[in-house]
Amino acid sequence: MKVPIAGLIIVLLLVGQFNSLRRPLIILFTIPLGLIGVVIGLIVARSYMGFITFLGVIALAGIVINKAVVEAAQCRLRPIILTTCTTIGGMLPLW
């Protein structure tokens, strides 16, 4: 019951971060592609899908989302800093 709510919160945060619905959906659709590597790794290692493997898949999805959020924050940092500096510069004469 809590996993779908957590997934919805992640989607809402990504939509808020990117200000669009397209980019978060692209990010979220790349996460299942990581399962291809997981299955190949399990076959090569002759292992099975257990709890620890499932935790690794969740961590891999978290890394993909974290990388996307960091890149979005870096793209938006300069406009935020410039806006803040111009606001401060405009308020200095009033001070």
Structure tokens at 57: 């898949």
Global pTM? 0.57
What does the pLDDT average to over 5-34? 83
What does the pLDDT average to over 48-68? 84
Q: Which residues contact 8 (CB under 8 A, 6 or more apart)?
A: none
Please classify residue 27 by burial: count the beta carbons closer than 10 Å to its beta carbon, then call 0-12 exposed, 13-18 middle and 19+ buried: buried
Structure tokens at 44: 């090569």
Number of domains the chain is built from: 1
Residue 1 has pLDDT above 80, yes or no: no
Q: Which domain holds residue 18?
A: 2-91
Are 22 and 9 contacting, i.e. CB atoms less than 8 angstroms apart? no
pLDDT band at residue 43 under the 50/70/90 scheme? very high
pLDDT tens for 59-90 read 888 887 778 777 777 777 888 788 888 888 88
